[in-house]
Amino acid sequence: MKKYFVLMLLGLSAIAYGQNKPVKIVFDVTSKDTLTHQAVLRHVNGMATSYPNSNFEVVVYGAAVSMFVKDQSTVSKDIETACTKKNVSFVACEQAMKRHNIDKSQLLPGVVTVPDGILEIVMKQGEGWGYIKEAHH
């Protein structure tokens, strides 16, 4: 019986350690669907609060760039809140911005840009970041 108790304690310790170990996650958003935008902000804000030693980056490209545009975003308040957390970043693809005629001055405060959103995600994965494709159906 003692043996099983010790094994159970070791198992629970491993689970608890795994939940507290810092992680890095990049979120891939390409949809202009506002429900997808709401979902990614809900996930990022929740995780960033629960795991303050972890890092989270939301990369948008394609039609999703509207998520970061001042006059178009339906989640601007949530992005503002998330930008106050040091472990969250928001990145817009300059190629997508160009295709959709969006200038950097139109972006919400705190959003940074990269030349290519897909390459940003691939580089993060190469650095060991986890990957989540955010979609809503």
* Phi, then psi, of 114 in degrees rounded to 5: -135, 155
Paired tokens of 59 = 């990369």
Structural domain contains residue 58: yes
Structural domain contains residue 3: no
pLDDT of residue 97: 98
| Sign of the Cα pseudo-torsion (47, 50, 51, 52, in order) | positive
pLDDT of residue 135: 86
pTM: predicted TM-score of the whole model, two decimal places = 0.84
CA distances from 77 to 52, 57, 113 (A): 20, 17, 19
What pLDDT, in 10s, does the model give residues 91-112? 999 999 999 999 999 999 999 9
- Of the pLDDT bands very low, low, confident and very high (cuts 50, 70, 90), residue 21 is confident
Please state, in angstroms and rounded to a whole number, the distance separating the CA atoms of residues 63 and 89.
19
Structural domain contains residue 17: no
What pLDDT, in 10s, does the model give residues 40-95? 999 999 999 999 999 999 999 999 999 999 999 999 999 999 999 999 999 999 99
CATH number at residue 106: 3.40.1260.10
Structural domain contains residue 65: yes
